[in-house]
Amino acid sequence: MNLKLKVWRQKNAQSEGKLVDYEARNIPPAASFLEMLDILNDELQAKGEEPIAFDHDCREGICGTCSLTINGIAHGPSATTTCQLYMRTFKDGETIYIEPFRARSFPVMRDLVTDRAALDRIKQAGGYITARVGSAQDANSTLIPKTAADLSMEAAACIGCGACVAACPNASAMLFVGASVTHLAALPQGQPERRERALRMVRKMDEEGFGNCSNHYECEAVCPAEIPITVISNLNREYAAASAREAAI
Partner 1 sequence: MNFITSFYNSSIGKKWIVALTGLVLIGYVIGHMAGNLQIFAGPEKINAYAAFLHSLPGPLWVIRIFLIVCLVLHIVMTIKLAVENRSAKAQKNEYQATTSFKPAKATMVLSGLVVLAFLVLHLAHFTIRSIDPRFHELPRGEFDVHSMVILGFQNVWYSGFYIIAVFLLCLHLSHGFQSLLQTLGINSKKVRLPITYGGQALSWLIFAGYVAVPIAVLTHHLTLVP
CB of 152 vs partner 1, minimal distance in Å: 14
Q: From residue 242, how far is each of 91, 130, 199, 245 by CA, in Å?
A: 50, 18, 7, 5
> Does position 19 bind partner 1 by CB under 8 A?
yes
Question: CA 239, 242, 247 angle in degrees (round to 5)?
Answer: 125
* Inter-residue contact 231 to 155 (CB < 8 Å): yes
> Does position 246 bind partner 1 by CB under 8 A?
yes
Among 5, 34, 103, 122, binds partner 1 (CB under 8 A): 103
Binding window for partner 1 (CB under 8 A); candidates: 28-36, 48-56, 155-163, 217-225: 217-225
CB of 142 vs partner 1, minimal distance in Å: 24
Binding window for partner 1 (CB under 8 A); candidates: 35-43, 57-65, 132-140, 170-178: 170-178
* Inter-residue contact 207 to 157 (CB < 8 Å): no
> Does position 169 bind partner 1 by CB under 8 A?
yes
43 versus 233: smaller Cβ distance to partner 1: 233
CB atoms within 10 A of CB 118: 24
CB of 234 vs partner 1, minimal distance in Å: 7
> Does position 97 bind partner 1 by CB under 8 A?
yes
CB of 137 vs partner 1, minimal distance in Å: 32
Site string for partner 1, 104-143 (x = CB under 8 A): xx--------------------------------------
Binding window for partner 1 (CB under 8 A); candidates: 25-33, 59-67, 134-142, 224-232: 224-232
Question: Which of 236, 20, 237 is CA-nearest to residue 111?
Answer: 20
> Does position 218 bind partner 1 by CB under 8 A?
yes
Binding site for partner 1 (CB under 8 A): 6, 8, 19, 69, 71-73, 97, 99, 102-105, 167-172, 174, 202-203, 205-206, 209-216, 218, 221-222, 228-230, 232-240, 243-244, 246-247
